[in-house]
Amino acid sequence: MSVIDVQLPDGSVRSLDDGSSARELAAAIGSRLAHDAIAAQVNGELTDLNRPLHHGDRVTIVTPASDVGRDVLRHSTAHVLAQAVLRLWPGAHYAIGPSIRDGFYYDFALPQGARFSDDDLDRIERVMRSIVAEDQPFLRSEYSIEEGLELFKDQPFKVEIIAGVGDGANPEDAGEVGGSVVSTYANTPEFQDLCRGPHVPSTKRLGYFKLMRVAGAYWRGDEKRPQLQRIYGTAWESKEALAAHLVQLEEAEKRDHRRLGAEMDLFSFPGELGPGLAVFHPKGGTIRRVMEEYSRGRHVAGGYEFVNSPHITKAELFETSGHLEWFADGMYPPMELDDGQQYYLKPMNCPFHMLIFKARQRSYRELPLRMFEFGTVYRYEKSGAVHGLTRVRGMTQDDAHIFCTREQMAQELSDLLNFVLGLLRDFGLNDFYLELSTRPEGKAVGSDEEWNEAEATLGDVARQAGLELVLDVGGGAFYGPKISVQARDAIGRTHQLSTIQLDFQTPQRFEASYVASDNARHRPIMIHRALFGTVERFMAILIEHYAGNMPTWMSPDQVVVLGVRDDHDDYAHQVASALRGDGVRVSVELANEPLGSRIRRAKLEKVPYVLVVGDEDVVSRTVGVNARGANDPERGVDLEEFRSRLRVEIAEHGSPELSRAT
């Protein structure tokens, strides 16, 4: 028998008998690896463990505790889910079941339009566990497209996928099937699934999974096509990893801004107002005010001018802008006034700023002209889309529009991106990447030349920023491409924050112009940009980022002063008054209940500094400092020293926890 050489990831070479598979390779390397192996990567391509290797192949053995490995076992677990559902609902149609972040899902259409309920998850999970215990192999077979169609003739979704590959209608399905070859994996004679693979060798390699929830999902993500029943699950390489993930979910839940918003008395959604309409309570209002004031200051320094516009307008404005044509569904229905005139609540601020630009003749000497407004807009979001403060129907954008010349555009965009990132960093976010969204086919206005120029300019600016750049093909607005700044928060989730959109169209639609040095009229370029996105959403993201522990400069209550006994209350008030003079938000809790109880309440309210003052402090004009997140209180801190510490921390936007962490 001849011998082949294969190369391992570390560059070393192993000789194997010809016809050996990755399974044998793993065994040759070590028994531990042989035991852990679930799949292989051969020359970069993911394959089953038993696929024969060839001379010169570069081979990586895939084990469960890796990104690729988890992907494989999640996908395999999805197959087990499908088998379990088909056992429990004979005649069910199964559609697709990919692995996703942290888990997998599978979509089904049950016989007679039946639907899963939450209680079904337990039953299904039990069947899945018995399938795992049955130690079923995943056996790969390959068929022609015709054979595949015959094999799955009772499974309309599978037939559509296979047929789609045949006629090239759905290129993404080529991944599902693999070129002109239809591959399947059979676990038992009764159950096989169309699949590119690879899979774990046997179901006994699975087991650390949990079905999470049922949901509806449209076939092929298309609202007009049938809605399928989707089951989501999570799956991991070990019991510990699964448990850690579930703990992580609980952590995220504790940070949920809706929960913290209620607990910390920041805002609420009174049922009387309707979905997606919030009221901000005094503490939430303070956070908002601080955010807005800081933003205003930065915008003044950044050369912006401040404008204002009304909340309602005649339909004409949005006919001109094109919003009524594209987004009428997302706007509140019009109010009809007695002369038959239709008025709309504004979903956007840009047309108003356009009118301000047009209010008089503009000179090139005024450009770039930057108009800023905290503009409150109303959008009729679908009822199922509203979510806490992150998706609301009434929201305030930190919206600005920059009018400039074509020549100024690149520089202006580049300065703008720096401005954006600087402001976001001031709020404590500093892990960013950019996304470039390009022309949406079929719903874009404007010429190819304009779009190409706009995309090229934005692309250059994005690349020059030196951040990771992700392309989002077709994700732009109807009037222009956009850069969005994505930020990772403290627990690694990413949020789309600022957007910068380049717009050649709106100035044309409004016939805006300026007089240039050549004494002729030229068309300005318009840049739309929002840094927070909306104040509401940005606040929600910050609350979750900080788990409610807002940096001192943003905290609604920065300091609480507690006298030990009520004869210390006078001094407590003196301390508070001195701090108030420094602009600090401070309150005094009178000594009519036990100290421990008052401290506990302040801690639960996440107040950055609790000051305790007693006999010694009154005598020596000191305070006891109990800082949020600190293990031990500091006794006898000179009041003047504490004031200056706090002044510095607030001015620098520091957060006590963050500074202690370093």
Partner RNA sequence: GCCUGGGUAGCUCAGUCGGUAGAGCAGCGCAUUCGUAAUGCGCAGGUCAGGAGUUCGAAUCUCCUCCCAGGCUCCA
Q: Interaction with RNA in 609-628: which residues (CB under 7 A)?
A: 610, 612-617, 624, 626
Task: Specify the DSSP element, H or E, that contains 224.
Answer: none
Indicate which residue of 158, 323, 362, 379 is catalytic: 379
Is residue 404 annotated as part of the catalytic site, yes or no? Answer: no
Tokens 């038959």, located at residue: 340
Is residue 275 at the binding interface for RNA, with CB under 7 A as the rule?
yes
CA angle 368, 530, 547 (to 5 degrees): 145
Contacts of 399 (CB under 8 A, 6+ apart): 349, 350, 353, 372, 373, 374, 375, 528, 529, 530
**Residues facing 345 on adjacent strands:** 312
* One of 85, 214, 291, 402 touching RNA (CB under 7 A): 214
- From the CB of 467, what's the least distance to RNA, in Å? 21
Q: What are phi and psi of 199, to 5 degrees?
A: -130, 165
Closer to RNA by Cβ: residue 143 or 538: 538
Indicate which residue of 353, 401, 545, 568 is catalytic: 401
How far apart CA 427 and CA 655 sit, in angstroms, is 10
Is residue 327 at the binding interface for RNA, with CB under 7 A as the rule?
yes
Q: How many CA atoms lie within 13 A of 321 on its CB side?
A: 23
Contacts of 381 (CB under 8 A, 6+ apart): 276, 330, 391, 392, 393
Burial 300-329 (b: 16+ CB within 10 A, else e): eebebeebebeeebeeebbebbbbbeebee
Q: Interaction with RNA in 333-352: which residues (CB under 7 A)?
A: 347-348, 350
* One of 323, 362, 495, 529 touching RNA (CB under 7 A): 323
Evaluate whether 542 touches 250 at the Cβ level (below 8 Å).
no
Of 91-99, 364-372, 509-517, 629-637: span binding RNA (CB under 7 A): 629-637
Is residue 545 at the binding interface for RNA, with CB under 7 A as the rule?
no
Indicate which residue of 482, 522, 545, 598 is catalytic: 482
Evaluate whether 33 touches 1 at the Cβ level (below 8 Å).
no
How far apart CA 513 and CA 505 sit, in angstroms, is 13
Of 85-93, 222-230, 581-589, 643-651: span binding RNA (CB under 7 A): 222-230
Is residue 528 annotated as part of the catalytic site, yes or no? Answer: yes
Closer to RNA by Cβ: residue 357 or 478: 478
Is residue 505 annotated as part of the catalytic site, yes or no? Answer: no
Of 196-204, 274-282, 288-296, 414-422: span binding RNA (CB under 7 A): 274-282
Is residue 119 annotated as part of the catalytic site, yes or no? Answer: no
Is residue 361 annotated as part of the catalytic site, yes or no? Answer: no
* One of 635, 643, 645, 653 touching RNA (CB under 7 A): 635
Is residue 497 at the binding interface for RNA, with CB under 7 A as the rule?
no
Indicate which residue of 120, 398, 399, 569 is catalytic: 399
Nearest to 351 by CA among 332, 324, 328, 333: 324
Rg (CA), the chain: 31
Q: Interaction with RNA in 72-131: which residues (CB under 7 A)?
A: 115-118
Indicate which residue of 155, 229, 397, 558 is catalytic: 397
- From the CB of 443, what's the least distance to RNA, in Å? 7
Of 45-53, 132-140, 141-149, 633-641: span binding RNA (CB under 7 A): 633-641
* One of 169, 247, 279, 385 touching RNA (CB under 7 A): 385
Indicate which residue of 283, 528, 529, 606 is catalytic: 528
Nearest to 558 by CA among 611, 635, 517: 611
- From the CB of 533, what's the least distance to RNA, in Å? 10
The torsion angle over the Cα atoms of residues 268, 269, 272 and 273, rounded to 10 degrees, is 120
Of 125-133, 162-170, 208-216, 280-288: span binding RNA (CB under 7 A): 208-216
**Residue 335, CA distances (Å) to 291, 331, 339, 356 in order:** 33, 12, 11, 24
Nearest to 330 by CA among 373, 372, 378: 378
Q: Interaction with RNA in 276-315: which residues (CB under 7 A)?
A: 276
Closer to RNA by Cβ: residue 84 or 389: 389
Is residue 330 at the binding interface for RNA, with CB under 7 A as the rule?
yes
Evaluate whether 379 touches 347 at the Cβ level (below 8 Å).
yes
Sign of CA dihedral 113, 119, 123, 126: positive
How far apart CA 484 and CA 488 sit, in angstroms, is 13
**What are the tokens at 178?**
């693999």
Q: How many CA atoms lie within 13 A of 80 on its CB side?
A: 39
Is residue 481 at the binding interface for RNA, with CB under 7 A as the rule?
no
Q: What are phi and psi of 621, to 5 degrees?
A: 50, 55
Closer to RNA by Cβ: residue 429 or 477: 477
- From the CB of 628, what's the least distance to RNA, in Å? 7
Which x/- pattern over 246-265 shows residues binding RNA (rule: CB under 7 A)? ------------x---x---
- From the CB of 132, what's the least distance to RNA, in Å? 24
The torsion angle over the Cα atoms of residues 129, 131, 137 and 143, rounded to 10 degrees, is -120
Q: Interaction with RNA in 559-598: which residues (CB under 7 A)?
A: 564-567, 591-597
Of 33-41, 149-157, 210-218, 300-308: span binding RNA (CB under 7 A): 210-218
Q: How many CB atoms lie within 10 A of CB 182?
A: 27
Is residue 529 annotated as part of the catalytic site, yes or no? Answer: no
**Residue 22, CA distances (Å) to 201, 253, 371 in order:** 12, 42, 63
Which DSSP string corresponds to 147-176?
A: HHHHHTTT-HHHHHHHHHHHHTS-TTHHHH
Evaluate whether 51 touches 1 at the Cβ level (below 8 Å).
no
- From the CB of 409, what's the least distance to RNA, in Å? 18
- From the CB of 8, what's the least distance to RNA, in Å? 38
Q: Interaction with RNA in 522-541: which residues (CB under 7 A)?
A: 528
* One of 204, 603, 621, 647 touching RNA (CB under 7 A): 603
- From the CB of 465, what's the least distance to RNA, in Å? 21
* One of 204, 387, 488, 647 touching RNA (CB under 7 A): 387
DSSP state letter for 480: B
Is residue 75 annotated as part of the catalytic site, yes or no? Answer: no
Reply yes or no: is the peptide bond before residue 481 cis, omega within 30 of 0: no
Q: How many CA atoms lie within 13 A of 240 on its CB side?
A: 1
- From the CB of 318, what's the least distance to RNA, in Å? 8
* One of 9, 30, 91, 274 touching RNA (CB under 7 A): 274
Q: Interaction with RNA in 145-204: which residues (CB under 7 A)?
A: none
Is residue 379 at the binding interface for RNA, with CB under 7 A as the rule?
yes
Active-site positions read 350, 379, 397, 399, 401, 482, 528
